[in-house]
Amino acid sequence: MHAIALLVLATLIALTACGRLGPEEEAACAIPETAPVSIKKLISVFRSHGISLDFNERSCRGSPGGYSPTVTNAGRSGLESDDSVSREQGNILCLVGTFDGDAVVSQVRYPTDRETHLDALNIQCSVYPYNEASESRQVVRVRRALEQVISDVRANRG
């Protein structure tokens, strides 16, 4: 099952980007500003909760429909999955946009999916658990990190 989660994560990342960035693209791919939560803030809060998020540079390539910045715990390339990280954190992929969603964490896991989706403010995360035994712990960790992000935004620290 772990291999399926990695395949799904790699496929999602591949859909947002292909190949390495050239020098011109790399220069144009600074971490974008998003609101109300910045990517840097999201990464910082998640790391304080033991989740090793990083900006996915491959998301800079975007898709025909536009650019969708993502953060993941699979390294800056989005393809550096580490089994010990997956065991502890699951595989996490978050889209960070400029839209403004609810200031509460919504959580859904569809019956046919392995992953759980958590949304708040301008963040949409998917958690692909390492296995069923670790699923609850991994989802709760992401939920608590998102709750901290909301708290920081409310306190004007977003």
| pLDDT, tens only, 89-128 | 999 999 988 777 889 999 999 999 999 999 999 999 999 9
pTM: 0.77
pLDDT, tens digit (0-9, with 9 covering 90-100), for 11-58: 444 433 434 444 444 444 566 677 889 888 999 999 999 999 988 877
Half-sphere exposure of 66 (CA within 13 A, CB side): 5
For the chain, the distance separating the N- and C-terminal CA atoms, rounded to the nearest angstrom, is 36
